[in-house]
Structure 1
Amino acid sequence: MPLIVTTGYQSVAGVRSRNEDFVGMVTPGEPELSSKGMILAVADGVSGSEGGREAAEYVVRGLLTDYYATPDTWEVTTALEKVVVAMNSWVQQQGSVRRELAGMATTLTTLVLRGRMYYSAHVGDTRCYLLRNGNLQKLTQDHVWDRPEMQHVLTRAIGLDSHLVIDHGMGELRAGDVFLLASDGVWAAISEYDLNDFLQQVSAQSLSPDLACTGLCEAAMKAGSQDNCSALVVRVNELPEGDLRDAITELHVLPVPPRMKPGQTLDGYVIDEVMHTSQTTLLYRVTDPVHHRKLVLKTLHPDRATDAQERSAFAHEAWLAKRVVARFFPQVITPEQRNYLYYLSTWHAGDSLQRRLDAGQHFTVPEAVVCGGKLVRAVGALHRRSILHRDIKPANVHLGDDDEIRILDLGVAQSGFDSKDSSPASNFNLAGTPSFLAPEQFQGEPPSRATDIYATGVTLYYLLTRHYPYGEVEPFQRPKFGEPVTPGRYRPDLPHWLENVLLKAVARDPQDRFETAEEFLLALERGAAHPLPAPSIKPLAQRDPLSLWRALAVISIVANLLLVYLLIAR
């Protein structure tokens, strides 16, 4: 589903003979809508020079055209910065070569809506407002002198100075958001209460954006506005699916919070405890005092604050976590405001399977089968969303007090694996825990559904036996895989049908494993009623052809040496 908005605008001269404001927007179709988004702008030519109108019109028209000519690989803020700075140079040049345009300048406020994000760029005293959930926010700051008698004198404008400083803003879009871009002829004449009233009606869809703009300009003129009046209103009706690029852009600009202690607060959330610390991330349990609930807050370790690759990987993880909406995963919570790099998810009482095992908990066969069925369902839910977890293990499987299994930690997960993946995690085939990595991954093969199924099988094998089917693998080790140890050797009470299911899941050859998580689940649910056949032992030529040829070579050498010896002995 694409981004769908409703827009409207109005620009009138008012009591003046000439309208020096200029309003414009571009609402493109695909693929530009997804790659560049839609752009809206309001400019107010600086009065006192003949070139005010020309500057406003040129800057808006040039911005709307040149923005779409910038490379798709540029960030939105980068594209806006380069285009507006170029416009500033042109306006200054025109003012210097044409005497009648000397001193030409204009304010500019522009808004880009792309994916699930908005971006603003601003110079001067035109304004951008956002109405969200009934609250009106001013997203821009006026660049005017702060002395009362000089509040209409600009300190920044396009064309005013060769060195232009642009204010940039960005944030997450939400359905129902209403934006207003307005010149000072509108906002200076009427109160924020009146602005809020018009935008509330647009939000409730009782007033169209077009009629709201007309009403705002008329209200400003009735209130005695002596300036040109321009307004542009846009209502966000529907949002597209979250875009990874936008998620990375958003989190790249946020600062990493310092290491927190229990009792401290971050964006209003109270830190209860440090749940986990690694070299790259920190995990806190926090309290949301507004909604009276416990949440989990995950952020980057402060030592990795300047690591661009770690920031991208963290943004990718947060994006994936938001996509997996199902009971098998903690659900991401969107904060009302986010001033630091982190994401929130639901907290659930219970513990990971690893911690339960470390605490001495013993899982009976029926308990393990139930847990296994839920875990396989969760893995299947990931695969249906084109996500590979790549690190399924007992430490990343949570068993809640509500008996629900939830998969944790998408830090090395890979998305879009049916096509060429561009996620940060896709560059590391051996990401994950060595003892749970499938044999083919040590040969350089990329991760796949089969490798996740293998890790799931090893997790269930370990849950029942506390051993690994091929022995423990140390980091940086390149193991050789023979035949897996049957789990009944460690756990004699295991039924044969369950042994066969586990051995198929952890088969060395990917073609001998379950093709899908659904097939794995079916085998667990059928159990003894429709048992799988025991895996057959393959001939050495199929299991390890290299070893076979080596053995034949050794035999051949020995035989030749023996023949040479016999010939010499004669």
Structure 2
Amino acid sequence: MQLTLNAGHATRAGQRPSNEDFVGMVLPGEPELSGKGVIAAIADGVSGNDGGREASEYTVRGLLSDYYATSDTWPVTQALDRVLKSINSWVQHQGSIRAELAGMATTLTCIVLRGRFYYFAHAGDSRLYLLRDGKLTRLTTDHVWDRPEMQHVLTRAIGLDSQLAVDHGMGELRAGDVFLLATDGVWTAIGETALAAQLHELAARKRTADETADALIDAALAAGTHDNVSALAIRVDTLPETDLRDALSGSQQLPVPPRLKPGQIIDGYTVEEQIHASATTLLYRVTEPPHGNNPPRRLVLKTLHPDRAGDEHERSAFAHEEWLAKRVVARFFPQVITPEQKNYLYYLTTWHDGSTLQQHLDVGEHFTVPDALAHGTKLVRAVGALHRRSIVHRDIKPANIHLGSDGELRLLDLGVAQSGLDEMHADAIDVHAPRAGTPSFLAPEQFAGAPPSRQTDLYAAGVTLYLLLTRHYPYGEIEPFQTPRFGEPVMPGRYRPDLPQWLENVLLKAVARDPVDRFETAEEFLLALERGATRPLAAPAPKPLVERNPLSLWRAVAAISIVLNVLLLYLLIVR
């Protein structure tokens, strides 16, 4: 289920010759809806000339567009603060260099609804209200002088001062919440009792948000307001699945199911068989309850091993995995299915007939060059889809790559994956361990303690493609207890003489020991595979011994020095 709203607005000049208010809202689709949320803003321009309207319009338009351009790894409050301070600088600069815009400024009140939380930012005397369970609460504080004769003189506004101070706040969302953003032309004309009465009509679904906004404007004008009047109303109808913070909290509440047997039913899903077991998790194939005339689907149910039920860290890691899996909505990954009821700690994904690439290798399947190229291209596309969502997989290998009978390749198991948002929850998630994953697919720098990155994922994808083609590892197989020394990778043509030279060059670049010699992005890797022989990569240049193996060089220098010293000593003795 997604966040769904009923939203509407109204704005009029009232008795003023022009309308200096500006109202805006963005209701994006996925993945922005989950990643950034819905944003709404209202502004009331001040200056007494055209500058007020220009300030309010630029501020709202700039905020609504620039907010979605900020990094997904930034908290909402940080993103709003940076965008608004940049807008403040522009507005103030325009007012200082253009005489007709002197003194231009604007109030600003905005709200972001993301996941199960709301966030707001505010400067000036426009207001944000929340109606919940019949009670109206004002969430913002007016930034005006407290002297009676100066109650309409702003102490804060966008463009008023070079140093902008913004009030921020947040809270938990509930279905049925009603929010109102209003300029002072509305709230000064009608009291909060009348505001609450209008919003009750929206909460009770007797009016739409558009009708409510119009009714508020009509009431303000009827009360004799002399100002511009603007209102934006929002009713929260449904809430989405929990965000990471919610997921981590909820993971500590649900019980872990006992070990399940075929035929058992959990929340309406019938267990067919256990398909995988590890030290921490169990996977079952289940069938969903019947729905009308549609045949029940097969799904995969993943849960914690009962022995780990009391491990808070494992619970958090499992919730984090589910949260990431919900974010990767693409054909390269199994898709998460939301159950109608959930009384245990687990999550469901789509089931796909087929086998992993490791299973194909285990039965001795030979991959032709065209087959390996097709799989490698899809794999790199899948890795790129993860990276565009700021997710690093950390355990790319044939056992985690599923080749479906429908011809699709799907990347599995986000159990040790990281995203840029993990740092905010580092106390609950182990985001700093550099050695998670399978040793033979770990990049050389990770054995020296370097953190995982997009390039380490691309290295693992390169090793996977190398293995499919040669059935060998570029630096040999690495056991978990080993601390390997990396020399130069074995030329893949040594194991597979039929490899074209261009493909050998691509593989060598993908698995280069030094990160600076590898592909920087999945897009660059993909381009090299797609161009193939038409625009081949150059063969890697040979490196001097001091770069390839500095230890061997210095050992050789030491050995030569010892020989020379012995020879000189001998000559001195003979004389």
Q: Tell me the TM-score normalised to structure 1 length.
A: 0.60
Query: What is the aligned partner in structure 2 of residue 248 from structure 1?
Result: 248
Query: What is the aligned partner in structure 2 of residue 549 from structure 1?
Result: 554
* Counterpart pick for 1:355 among 355, 359, 370: 359
SS in 1 for 2:303: strand
- Give the Å deviation of 1:241: 9.1
Query: What is the aligned partner in structure 2 of residue 492 from structure 1?
Result: 497
**Partner Cα distance (1:201, 1:128) in 2:** 14
CA contact (8 A) 2:116 2:243 kept: no
Q: CA deviation digits over 1:115-148, x for unaligned, max 9?
A: 5349xxxxxxxx999xxxxxxxxxxxxxxxxxxx
Q: Which amino acid aligns with 2:359?
A: R
Q: Which amino acid aligns with 2:468?
A: L
Query: What is the aligned partner in structure 2 of residue 446 from structure 1?
Result: 451
Q: Which amino acid aligns with 2:471?
A: R
Q: Alignment length, in residue pairs? A: 377
- Give the Å deviation of 1:534: 1.3
* Counterpart pick for 2:380 among 372, 376, 382: 376
SS in 1 for 2:459: helix
Of all paired residues, the percent bearing the same amino acid is 68
**Partner Cα distance (2:319, 2:207) in 1:** 31
SS in 2 for 1:459: helix
* Counterpart pick for 1:294 among 293, 298, 323: 298
CA 314–531 in structure 1, closer or farther in 2 if over 3 Å, else same: same
Indicate whether 1:343 and 2:347 are aligned.
Answer: yes
- 1:164-203 to 2 correspondence within 5 Å? 177-178=175-176, 201=205
* Structure 1: stretches of 5+ with no match in the other structure: 8-33, 35-112, 119-126, 130-171, 181-197, 212-233
- Give the Å deviation of 1:4: 8.6
Q: CA deviation digits over 1:171-229, x for unaligned, max 9?
A: x989xx4479xxxxxxxxxxxxxxxxx988469879979x9xxxxxxxxxxxxxxxxxx
CA contact (8 A) 2:176 2:237 kept: no
- 1:447-466 to 2 correspondence within 5 Å? 447-466=452-471
- Give the Å deviation of 1:563: 2.1
**Partner Cα distance (1:505, 1:568) in 2:** 56
**Partner Cα distance (2:400, 2:465) in 1:** 13
CA contact (8 A) 2:443 2:513 kept: yes
CA contact (8 A) 1:470 1:481 kept: yes
CA contact (8 A) 1:415 1:421 kept: no
CA contact (8 A) 2:299 2:348 kept: yes
Q: CA deviation digits over 1:399-430, x for unaligned, max 9?
A: 11111111000001011089788372423100
Indicate whether 1:430 and 2:429 are aligned.
Answer: no
Indicate whether 1:528 and 2:527 are aligned.
Answer: no
- 1:94-113 to 2 correspondence within 5 Å? none
**Partner Cα distance (2:555, 2:287) in 1:** 63
CA contact (8 A) 2:301 2:346 kept: yes
Query: What is the aligned partner in structure 2 of residue 414 from structure 1?
Result: 418
**Partner Cα distance (2:467, 2:508) in 1:** 12
CA contact (8 A) 2:422 2:431 kept: no
Q: Which amino acid aligns with 1:261?
A: K
- 1:151-170 to 2 correspondence within 5 Å? none
Query: What is the aligned partner in structure 2 of residue 102 from structure 1?
Result: none
Q: CA deviation digits over 1:364-422, x for unaligned, max 9?
A: 11111111101000001111111100100000001111111110000010110897883
CA contact (8 A) 2:255 2:309 kept: yes
CA 342–128 in structure 1, closer or farther in 2 if over 3 Å, else same: farther
Q: CA deviation digits over 1:306-347, x for unaligned, max 9?
A: 111111111111110011111111111111111111111111
* Counterpart pick for 1:317 among 307, 317, 321: 321
CA contact (8 A) 1:498 1:527 kept: yes
SS in 2 for 1:327: coil
Q: Which amino acid aligns with 1:413?
A: A
Query: What is the aligned partner in structure 1 of residue 480 from structure 2?
Result: 475
CA 472–518 in structure 1, closer or farther in 2 if over 3 Å, else same: same
* Structure 2: stretches of 5+ with no match in the other structure: 8-34, 36-111, 118-131, 135-171, 179-201, 216-233
Query: What is the aligned partner in structure 2 of residue 116 from structure 1?
Result: 115
Q: Which amino acid aligns with 1:286?
A: V
Indicate whether 1:538 and 2:543 are aligned.
Answer: yes
- Give the Å deviation of 1:486: 1.3
CA 466–341 in structure 1, closer or farther in 2 if over 3 Å, else same: same
Q: Tell me the TM-score normalised to structure 2 length.
A: 0.60
- Give the Å deviation of 1:363: 1.4
**Partner Cα distance (1:317, 1:262) in 2:** 25
**Partner Cα distance (2:565, 2:307) in 1:** 63
**Partner Cα distance (1:301, 1:261) in 2:** 14
CA contact (8 A) 2:209 2:235 kept: no
CA contact (8 A) 1:504 1:535 kept: yes
- Give the Å deviation of 1:550: 3.0
* Counterpart pick for 2:565 among 557, 560, 565: 560
**Partner Cα distance (1:244, 1:425) in 2:** 14
* Counterpart pick for 1:328 among 308, 315, 332: 332
Q: Which amino acid aligns with 1:519?
A: E
CA contact (8 A) 1:115 1:242 kept: no
**Partner Cα distance (2:208, 2:326) in 1:** 28
SS in 1 for 2:520: coil
**Partner Cα distance (1:418, 1:308) in 2:** 17
CA contact (8 A) 1:202 1:235 kept: no
CA contact (8 A) 1:201 1:207 kept: no
- Give the Å deviation of 1:472: 0.3
| RMSD (Å) for aligned C-alpha atoms | 3.5
Q: CA deviation digits over 1:68-117, x for unaligned, max 9?
A: xxxxxxxxxxxxxxxxxxxxxxxxxxxxxxxxxxxxxxxxxxxxx99534
- Give the Å deviation of 1:447: 0.9
Query: What is the aligned partner in structure 2 of residue 258 from structure 1?
Result: 258
**Partner Cα distance (2:353, 2:319) in 1:** 26
CA contact (8 A) 1:203 1:235 kept: no
SS in 1 for 2:251: helix
Query: What is the aligned partner in structure 1 of residue 517 from structure 2?
Result: 512
- Give the Å deviation of 1:551: 2.5
CA 204–354 in structure 1, closer or farther in 2 if over 3 Å, else same: farther
- Give the Å deviation of 1:250: 1.1
Query: What is the aligned partner in structure 2 of residue 502 from structure 1?
Result: 507
SS in 2 for 1:528: coil
- Give the Å deviation of 1:519: 0.6
CA 531–272 in structure 1, closer or farther in 2 if over 3 Å, else same: same
